[in-house]
Amino acid sequence: MKPLNPLVLTVSVPPHKHYGSSVRGLMTAILMAMVPAAAMAVNTFGVDALRVMALSAGVAVLTEAACNRLMDRSQSVGDLHALTVGLAFAFLLPASAPWWLVAFGSAASIGVGKMMFGPLGGSPFCAPLVGWAICRVSWPGQMDLDASMLTMNLTYPLGQLKAFGWTSVQIQDTKSLLFGRQLGGLGAVQVAGVLIGGLYLVIKHHVSSIIPVGFLAGVATAAWLLHLINPVVYPPAMFHLLTGSVMFGAFFLATDGPSSPNRQIPMLLFGLLAGVMTIVIRVWGAYPDGVPFAILLANLFTPVLERIRPRPFGAR
């Protein structure tokens, strides 16, 4: 048939305009939000922090590229998710972490925490925490923040709390804690920087505020109750909020899309659960900082929480 009109149109399904968000856009925003904490980490821990972050981010991207190759999938590193996971994993490590630990953990975060479950969106866990958990269980010595950082003149408040009790914690004042004068995950303890980045993400609507609010409320309420019961043994809520990975977990880890619920009420419960679990692990568990395991546990509850859903429009 002779074409009636040689003009060729593009045919596509609606919508014909988009809000403008994208995976790459979101990851760019998250990476930007991590810059203040990363800068503070370099300031505190020096070139060691830079080494760990660069190595972890690089290995994560390479692992994802290799997995895509081996699994015969289209290349996805361009969406910057792997870079984000790599950097987030580095944020949880001590600045003194040996290169092989960084490389292994970062590769495990991507390989086991993401690629094993298919393309982005398939994993039921927050990817960097998977790598962290594997390393923490396999090499407790190297992951131990106190022992690994003996050369620094900073102390690890959560370690002291766990081992010797509240009265012997050396750093207690809010200002030192806020500005990263504590040992811990190299980026995660840069609390002021993490907070600036986290607020940026929430205010710009890149991530919903519900999970961070729930998480911080969970931590604060549980800690406050314990402190009320026995102020000599249990530190005040502010101490818990400003130590370890609480801030980083609230804004950057618990908010991971696929591993957290999607609706408002389940999101709030998810946040609260992770927050309360953090304090439970810190007080009664084996690990000084409860955040990573608390979030992984909450991830397991996501499918259950997702069952809390409203009645669809007009359905009877």
The residues binding another protein (CB under 8 A) are 4-5, 7-19, 21-23, 26, 118-122, 208, 257-264, 309-315
- Smallest distance from the beta carbon of 84 to another protein, in angstroms? 13
- Smallest distance from the beta carbon of 27 to another protein, in angstroms? 10
Instruction: Kindly tell me which of 98 and 119 has the beta carbon lying closer to another protein.
Output: 119
Instruction: Kindly tell me which of 284 and 313 has the beta carbon lying closer to another protein.
Output: 313
Instruction: Kindly tell me which of 12 and 151 has the beta carbon lying closer to another protein.
Output: 12
Report the alpha-carbon distance of residue 209 to residue 191 in Å, rounded. Answer: 18
Residues 6+ apart with CB under 8 A from 18: none
Residues 6+ apart with CB under 8 A from 42: 49, 50
Q: 40, 190 in Cβ contact below 8 A?
A: yes
Instruction: Kindly tell me which of 46 and 124 has the beta carbon lying closer to another protein.
Output: 124
Instruction: Kindly tell me which of 81 and 282 has the beta carbon lying closer to another protein.
Output: 81
- Smallest distance from the beta carbon of 264 to another protein, in angstroms? 7
Instruction: Kindly tell me which of 122 and 231 has the beta carbon lying closer to another protein.
Output: 122
- Smallest distance from the beta carbon of 79 to another protein, in angstroms? 9
Tell me, rounded to whole angstroms, the distance of Cα 86 from its chain centroid. Answer: 11
- Smallest distance from the beta carbon of 220 to another protein, in angstroms? 25
Instruction: Kindly tell me which of 141 and 312 has the beta carbon lying closer to another protein.
Output: 312
Amino acid at 12: S
Amino acid at 248: F
| Helix, strand, or coil (residue 3) | coil
Burial grade of 186 (CB within 10 A; 0-12, 13-18, 19 or more): buried
What does the angle CA 287 – CA 158 – CA 110 come to, to the nearest 5 degrees? Answer: 55
Question: What stretches of the chain show up as alpha helix (H) in DSSP?
Answer: 23-45, 47-70, 81-91, 99-111, 127-138, 140-143, 145-148, 157-164, 174-178, 191-203, 210-229, 237-241, 246-248, 264-284, 291-305
- Smallest distance from the beta carbon of 25 to another protein, in angstroms? 8
- Smallest distance from the beta carbon of 32 to another protein, in angstroms? 17
Q: 279, 101 in Cβ contact below 8 A?
A: no
| Matching residue, tokens 């766990």 | 162
- Smallest distance from the beta carbon of 153 to another protein, in angstroms? 43
Instruction: Kindly tell me which of 175 and 309 has the beta carbon lying closer to another protein.
Output: 309
Residues 6+ apart with CB under 8 A from 286: none
